[in-house]
Amino acid sequence: MTYGVNDMVLDNWGVVDRWTAEQKLCSYGPSGIGFVNFNIVNTLKVLAPIETFGHGARGFNVYAGTVELAEFDRVTTHADGSVGMQISQPIGRLVVHRGIETFGGTGDSMVKGVVVQLAAVALSVKPGGSARAIEIDGSVTTHGAGVAPIGIHGAIASLRIGGGLAALGGGFDKI
């Protein structure tokens, strides 16, 4: 659990073969992140929910490097600018068992040392980001006004969302 500005609950700067988190990852600070990657992770398993409450926070973020397999229980964010999952680099397979959900609109977030405006999109693949496969068993849901559930500006070879997409504050026009 973290409370500070730009605080990461778990972050990787090295090379990791297998990382398993068994307890809930929770961040309360602005621009905090549940798990962020800056290098190489072969297998990441987060067996409990990731939940963030700070403005501009993110649940999972691949800034640099890659993750071959990332498997999550559930990801939820609760503030403006708080993206559920953001992929900015190529990854292998992403699995989320109980869905991704955001409760927020557009707001400030610190990204690589710069404050930018982000919408609280549940699943975001940025330019330069890609995934071989994304499998989400639950739903991908946003509650913020005008916030789309997904934003794909990179590439996904295979995408399966078992529980559907929902923009409960409106926002499908921005997909």
Return the domain boundaries, the chain. 8-162
The tens digit of pLDDT for each residue in 84-138 reads 999 999 999 999 999 999 999 999 888 778 888 999 999 999 999 999 999 999 9
pTM tops 0.75: yes
3-class SS of residue 173: helix
Q: How far apart are the first and last CA of the chain?
A: 33
The tens digit of pLDDT for each residue in 36-65 reads 999 999 999 999 999 999 999 999 999 899
Task: With beta carbons less than 8 A apart as the criterion, state whether 121 and 149 touch.
Answer: yes
Task: With beta carbons less than 8 A apart as the criterion, state whether 125 and 100 touch.
Answer: no
The tens digit of pLDDT for each residue in 136-147 reads 999 999 999 999
Q: Which residues of 73-95 are buried (b: 16+ CB within 10 A; e: fewer)?
A: bbbbbbbbbbbbbbbbbbbbbbe
